[in-house]
Amino acid sequence: MEIIISSTYEEMSKAAAKAVAELLNSKPNAVLGLPTGSTPIGVYKELARMHKSEGLDFSRVTTFNLDEYVGLKKDHPQSYHYFMHENLFKHINIPKQNVYIPSGTTDNYAAFCQWYERRIKECGGIDMQLLGIGSDGHIGFNEPSSSLGSRTRIKTLARPTIEDNARFFEKIEDVPIYAITMGVGTIFEARKIVFLANGANKADAVAKAIEGPVTSMITASALQLHPDVTAYLDRAAAGKLTMIDYYEWVQAKGPGAPKQ
């Protein structure tokens, strides 16, 4: 895993957005996997800026979102459909038909989940998956004890997740209890993973994910087995990494052998 530690959230977001832009410049019809939450907002802002001022083109890009709350309509202000539209899609030139977000209101979740998995494959698989991490170590809504081989399905949210996400709702009872989420196995098939975390409240989960044992109790720890992961962290989120001096040393020297 490559670990890039930035001094601020803005710097972290710009570094990750640059990685996305580099992919789109080399593969204009790339397939992106996208997260919601507070973490990626800075990346989305920077991508919108790059589209507006530098012509970053999304006209051939396809996106698949990680998850959606069960029971929230697309136009509900806390739905992930709404979030993606407000924070990214309305600011860029992605065609509507290239956007896939799990449905929170289908009448057949099992069939929908199978279709979603099939659509990802039909579109050629995910080239780059962006991910945040929950304070309980989840990726997507793959809560502790989720199978590391899991596929898109309905998950019951864990109490810490409901408490974390209550800040977006009027009261905690309004937070949906169920979500539809890509599985750890689905995420793992992305060719490249961009893992994002900021803030001291993520430091424990980040340390467990990057340096702890691989365990379904911290589903982000499965990323240790993936061949191409870059973690973009701000200093606060990196605060509990025991090998931080080494990661900063690698970052300063540039990873890999010197060029011949």
In the complex with ligand PGA, which residue's Cβ is closer, 98 or 137?
137
179 membership: H or E segment, kind and range: strand 178-181
Cα Dmax for the chain? 60
CA distances from 144 to 13, 65, 88, 114, 217 (A): 27, 20, 29, 23, 4
Per the DSSP assignment, residues forming a β-bridge with 139 are 142
53 near 23, Cβ under 8 Å? no
Kindly list the catalytic residues: 67, 136, 138, 143
Least distance from ligand PGA to the Cβ atom of residue 132, Å = 3
In the complex with ligand PGA, which residue's Cβ is closer, 159 or 253?
159
Q: Which residues lie near ligand PGA (CB under 6 A)?
A: 37-39, 132-134
Q: Which residue is nearest to ligand PGA (CB)?
A: 37
Report how far residue 110's alpha carbon sits from residue 103's, in angstroms, rounded to the nearest whole number.
11
Least distance from ligand PGA to the Cβ atom of residue 143, Å = 10
Least distance from ligand PGA to the Cβ atom of residue 255, Å = 26
Per the DSSP assignment, residues forming a β-bridge with 2 are 230
In the complex with ligand PGA, which residue's Cβ is closer, 98 or 146?
146
In the complex with ligand PGA, which residue's Cβ is closer, 61 or 157?
157
Least distance from ligand PGA to the Cβ atom of residue 64, Å = 16
**Residue whose C-alpha is closest to residue 161's, from 146, 150, 148, 149:** 146
Residues 6+ apart with CB under 8 A from 164: 134, 135
Least distance from ligand PGA to the Cβ atom of residue 160, Å = 10
In the complex with ligand PGA, which residue's Cβ is closer, 132 or 176?
132
239 near 200, Cβ under 8 Å? yes
